[in-house]
């Protein structure tokens, strides 16, 4: 099966998505997500100007060889733009191989290790009461696992609290909007949120929380310890992870489970974290960590150290990633949980898909491939609209982690 052509589809049904479509001489096509929130056009150019010319004529079945060709052949290895472009090609080729075999993708990945995929949703509110009312609505929708984010008194905004309840989109400005942060206020406030959450909902639901890279390691250890009575499923991105050894300080201070990795683009970004068991869940995702091929290597390393997966699944990852991730999640043994931030109806219309939500889990369906398509005509009605993620400053103006 030869690659005849490939194209990049950019669309903005409320937010930007970049999709790679690879067409073959057998009339089949495969789709890969290439969305990198806030830097989308860098990946579009990487694919159109540098990758696609090398793909035409290649055997679409040679997934591993193509992966190595694009990774080693670039010379300049790794990084989010390169690995997102490689991920898009890889995902499209796995989609194609499964379609050519007439099988759902999970059957090519070793078959089912479970019947469905536990997911978590995002409850958030401007204050504790609104956030917990949102938790109640997620419980009513059947979610067994819920992330809770809440406004912090004295701060005009904070990560994860959205104007639009169900659909959280952080890329909210034609130029970066500026947020203000205080770790002190946040550290004093957050234990109160989970104390009230457990008082209202008991210990049945899994509760998760995303610190979003904003604390120092010792502050993160203090937060983890203060949350121990409320038994979180995980505390996410407690501190920036460029220095993987920083997590030793957090580990020494708390038994609250830790999750990290949505910003990682290769196994090298998380190798020490996994080998030293400094984390409990690895969050790398199909679209940003080199596709199905590389993500399986990361999951394989994690399995050796009893680290489970918890793939990123925010609204800025397209339904193509969600579909492919669900086949991956269904097949690997050390699956933990899948993030599932719902897409808007406009996005779902552009990306018809087979996956379905029921009783707190997602099932990918049994269509050949990853089960997600793109309506190109509809996609063309939503032109690209530049949008940036916010930047974050401390109250004295110092630039901080968003
Ligand atoms: C967040 C993301 O879902 C999460 O855990 O960290 O929403 C993240 O902020 C966005 O993907 C950034 O584009
Ligand atoms: Mg996160």
DSSP 164-220: SSS------BSS--EEEE-HHHHHHHHHHHHHHHHHHHTTSSEEEEE-TT-S-HHHH
Closest C-alpha residue for ligand 1 atom 3: 314
Regarding whether 177 and 34 lie in a shared domain, the answer is no
> Are 299 and 187 in a shared domain?
yes
Question: What pLDDT shows up at residue 167?
Answer: 75
pLDDT tens profile 66-103: 999 999 999 999 999 999 999 999 999 999 999 999 99
Cα–ligand 1 centroid distance for 285 (angstroms): 12
Residue to substitute in 15, 160, 234, 239 for testing ligand 1 pocket (most ligand atoms within 8 angstroms of CB):
160
Specify whether 298 is located in the same domain as 196: yes
Alpha-carbon distance 294 to 304, whole Å? 16
The answer to whether residues 148 and 68 belong to one domain is: no
Please report, for the domain that includes residue 91, its CATH number. 3.30.390.10
Tell me, what's the pLDDT at 239? Answer: 98
Question: What pLDDT, on a 0 to 100 scale, did the predictor assign at position 165?
Answer: 65
Measured in whole angstroms, the distance separating CA 328 from the mean position of its chain's CA atoms is: 13
Domain that holds residue 62: 3-104
Asked if residue 184 and residue 49 are part of one domain, the reply reads no
H or E element that contains 232? none
User: pLDDT digit string (tens) for 333-371?
Assistant: 999 999 999 999 999 999 999 999 999 999 999 999 999
Is residue 394 domain-resident?
no
Indicate whether 399 belongs to any domain. Answer: no
What is the model's pLDDT at position 319? 98
| Res 162: pLDDT | 81
**Same domain, residue pair 268 and 241:** yes
Place of tokens 């701060």: 155
In-domain check, residue 400: no
Catalytic position from the list 29, 106, 143, 159: 159
User: Is residue 12 included in any domain, yes or no?
Assistant: yes
Query: What is the whole-number distance in angstroms between the Cα of residue 116 and the centre of ligand 2?
Result: 23
The pLDDT tens digits of the residues spanning 48-68 come to 999 999 999 999 999 999 999
The answer to whether residue 303 is domain-embedded is yes
pTM for this prediction: 0.98
Active-site residue 212, yes or no? yes
Query: Is residue 61 domain-shared with residue 170, that is, in the same domain?
Result: no
Tell whether 89 and 137 lie within a shared domain: no
Euclidean distance between CA atoms 379 and 376, whole angstroms: 5
Question: What is the mean pLDDT of the segment spanning 30-45?
Answer: 98
State the distance from the centre of ligand 2 to the C-alpha of 343, rounded, in angstroms: 16
**Residues 359 and 216 grouped into a single domain:** yes
Residue 99 DSSP SS3: helix
Mean pLDDT of the chain: 97
Tell me if 212 CB under 6 Å of ligand 1: yes
One domain, residues 179 and 236? yes
> Among 261, 301, 302, which Cα is nearest to 283's?
261
Contact 33, 286 (CB under 8 A): yes
CATH number at residue 292: 3.20.20.120
Residue among 35, 177, 210, 213 to mutate when testing ligand 1 (max atoms within 8 A of CB): 210
Average pLDDT over residues 390-399: 97
Same domain, 125 and 259: yes
The total number of structural domains that make up the chain: 2
User: Is the minimum distance from the CB of 40 to ligand 1 under 6 angstroms?
Assistant: no
Q: Do 222 and 136 have their domain in common?
A: yes
For residue range 155-207, list pLDDT tens digits in order. Answer: 998 999 987 667 778 898 899 999 999 999 999 999 999 999 999 999 999 99
Residue 74 lies in a domain: yes
Q: What pLDDT score was predicted for residue 243?
A: 96
């Amino acid at each position: 099966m030869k690659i005849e052509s490939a194209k990049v589809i950019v669309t903005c049904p409320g937010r930007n998505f970049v999709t790679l479509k690879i067409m073959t001489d057998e009339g089949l096509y495969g789709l890969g997500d290439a969305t990198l929130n806030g830097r989308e056009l860098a990946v579009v150019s990487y694919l159109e100007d540098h990758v696609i010319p090398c793909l035409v004529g290649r055997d679409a079945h040679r997934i591993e060889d193509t992966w190595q060709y694009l990774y080693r052949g670039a010379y300049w290895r790794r990084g989010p733009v390169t690995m997102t472009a490689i991920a898009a090609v890889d995902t499209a080729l796995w989609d194609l191989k499964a379609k050519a075999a007439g099988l759902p993708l999970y059957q090519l990945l070793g078959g089912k290790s479970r019947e469905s995929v536990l997911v978590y949703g995002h409850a958030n509110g401007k204050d504790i009461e609104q956030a917990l009312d949102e938790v109640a609505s997620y419980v009513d929708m059947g979610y067994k696992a819920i992330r809770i984010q809440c406004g912090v008194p004295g701060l005009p905004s904070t990560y994860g609290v959205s104007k639009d309840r169900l659909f959280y989109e952080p890329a909210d400005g034609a130029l970066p909007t500026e947020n203000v942060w205080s770790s002190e206020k946040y550290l004093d406030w957050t234990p109160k949120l989970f104390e009230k959450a457990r008082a209202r909902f008991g210990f049945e639901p899994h509760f998760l929380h995303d610190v979003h890279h904003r604390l120092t390691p010792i502050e993160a250890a203090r937060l983890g310890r203060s949350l121990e009575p409320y038994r979180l499923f995980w505390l996410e991105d407690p501190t920036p992870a460029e220095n993987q050894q920083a997590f030793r300080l957090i580990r020494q201070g708390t038994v609250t489970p830790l999750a990290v990795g949505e910003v990682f683009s290769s196994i090298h970004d998380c190798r020490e974290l996994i080998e030293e068991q400094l984390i409990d869940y690895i969050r790398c995702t199909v679209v940003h960590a080199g596709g199905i091929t590389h993500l399986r290597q990361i999951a394989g390393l994690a399995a050796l150290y009893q680290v489970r997966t918890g793939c990123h699944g925010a609204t800025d990852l397209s339904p193509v990633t969600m579909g492919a991730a669900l086949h991956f999640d269904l097949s690997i043994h050390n699956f933990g949980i899948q993030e599932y931030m719902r897409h808007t109806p406009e996005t779902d219309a552009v990306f018809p898909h087979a996956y379905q939500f029921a009783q707190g889990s997602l099932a990918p369906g049994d269509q050949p491939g990853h089960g997600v398509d793109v309506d190109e005509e509809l996609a063309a009605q939503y032109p690209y609209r530049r949008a940036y993620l916010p930047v974050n400053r401390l109250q004295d103006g110092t630039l901080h982690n968003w």
